[in-house]
Structure 1
Amino acid sequence: MNIDADKVITSLAVKLANSEVQAVKYETLAEQLQEKVSELQSRNAELEARVAELESTVATDNEGGELV
């Protein structure tokens, strides 16, 4: 091979390696984001349950048991 072909092959190999590194970074980021989404969905469910509990408490009058 001549020197220009070697340079092109080396350049393409470097670009491919860099692309693979970027792909791994994006996969890792996607996994981290999915974990965070799951955590937030769980927390949201907890908060919704707590809101329902508080709404139930507020909706009942302490003296007569009548709805407010």
Structure 2
Amino acid sequence: MRTRIKEFRARYNLTQEDLANLVGVRRETIVFLEKGKYNPSLKLAHDVANALHSSIDELFLFDEAEADIVEER
């Protein structure tokens, strides 16, 4: 999964720390989300999307090829 969190943060001049404080998580969580190393819960994805005035679909991009690999397992 890829994210556009960093891009949306820049639109609102938010640091990772700012966003973390808005959604109630640690800055490291935002770092991991932006790097695609952490799959958020639905609640966290919703909270991040709300904080960035966007939708979950706009922020979190699910790679179709990755989906095919998961389904094959």
The TM tier, using the shorter chain, reads under 0.3
Which protein has the bigger strand share? Answer: 2
Q: Greater helix share, 1 or 2? A: 1
Larger Rg: 1
TM-score (norm 1): 0.19
